[in-house]
Amino acid sequence: MAVIEIKDLAKNFGEVQALDGINLEVQEGEVYGYIGPNGAGKTTTIRILLGILQADRGKATVFGRDAWQDAVEIHKRIAYVPGEVNLWPNLTGGEIIDLFVQLRGSNHKSRREELIARFDLDPSKKCRSYSKGNRQKVALVAAFAAEADLYLLDEPSSGLDPLMEKVFQECITEFKEEGKTVFLSSHILSEVEKLCDKLSIIRQGKIIESGSLNELQHLTRTRMVLETNEEIPSLNDLKGIHDLKKQNNTYSFLVDTAELDQVIQHISKFGVKKLESSPPKLEDVFMEHYRGGGGES
């Protein structure tokens, strides 16, 4: 069953077209990555899913219900963590966690204590004295403490230190094992790469790539470092070779994954002394799409 379904979604803010015909589907039990640079439309998409922004065109459903019409019903089954957390300065972290859990109508005291311990949070401090990372922890504990079927996370680990980021990743892995659905937006690739089954890349309000990690890796290139006995003439002319650097008989280049076989066959004729290849990195696809329109700033 599709937990999130987005069809031809568009949203304008005045002159600015924040979303321009987005299509997306997240199945139950998936951890779905939503990647893009700042200002691409990630947060706008999530806010439409939360029913706090109304789409100008298209349809967004969560659990098969309309995100705008049935917001309250939907919210009983989801947990949300925003990228930037602002809290009321004169309430303590513990008070805010309890408030949020209560507003959702369920109460899991044990889970609350466990999460507070795991995230190493002091719930007795007033929010005005929390650092950015600590406010983020409050939001994470508040979201994770209550039972939910879908977790909407908007750049949730920004501001967390590496130790806490690890705890966060463990939590996501547990949700995955429990069969929960997670929708994770980020511009930090490594975060998504470790956690996600599927992902979409959004840029300037449009989805430019979508698929499972494996599917997307087909589009990527393998980096090779090669040392041969003989010099390879006109390696640059070979199909699928990019970014070639040569130093004596040592070559470093990128190969389109689809052309790998042909390239290996060619270079083997020149007496391979050493061959290193790094696995295809999502970073490369990602960077390529970031650069995208070339001259644009």
Partner 1 sequence: MQTSYFHNSGRLSRLILRRDRLRIPLWIIIITALTLVIAFAYTNLFTTQQEIMIYAETMRNPAMTAMMGPGYGLDNYTYGAMMAHTMLVFTALAVAIMSIFLVARHTRRDEESGRIEMIRSLPVGRLSNLTATILASFTVNILLALLTGIGLFLLGIESMDLQGSLLYGASLGAAGIFFAAVTALFVQLTANTRNAIGYAVIFLGISYLVRALGDVSSEALSLLSPLGLITRTQVFVNNYWWPLLLTVAAALAITALAFKLNSLRDLEAGLLPARSGRKTASSWLKNPLGLALKLQRTSLIAWAAGLFILGASYGSVFGDVDAFLESVEMYREIFIIAEDIPFVEQFIATLMSVIALIATAPALIMILKVKSEEKASRIEHLLSRAVSRKQVMGSYLLISLAASLIMLLLSAAGMWTAAAAVMADPVPLSLFLKSALVYLPAIWALIGLTVLIIGYKPGAALFSWIYLGYSFLVIYLGEMLQIPDWLSGLTPYGYVPKIPIEEINIPALIILTIISIILMAAGFRGYRQRDIQLSG
**In contact, 171 and 147? CB cutoff 8 Å:** no
Residue 203 Cβ, how far from partner 1 at the closest point, in Å?
23
Residue 13 Cβ, how far from partner 1 at the closest point, in Å?
8
12: helix, strand or coil:
strand
Residue type, 39: G
d(CA 88, CA 57): 35
Residue 81 Cβ, how far from partner 1 at the closest point, in Å?
9
**In contact, 141 and 95? CB cutoff 8 Å:** no
Residue 220 Cβ, how far from partner 1 at the closest point, in Å?
35
Kindly write down the DSSP assignment for every residue of 199-238, as one continuous string: EEEEETTEEEEEEEHHHHHTTSEEEEEEEESS--TTGGGS
Q: What angle do CA 282, 190, 26 make, to 5 degrees?
A: 75
d(CA 45, CA 43): 5
Q: Which residues bind partner 1 (CB under 8 A)?
A: 13-14, 47, 50-54, 70-73, 75-76, 78, 80, 82, 84-88, 90-91, 95, 99-100, 102-105, 128-132, 134, 139, 152
Name the token pair of 61.
């459903």
Residue 155 Cβ, how far from partner 1 at the closest point, in Å?
13
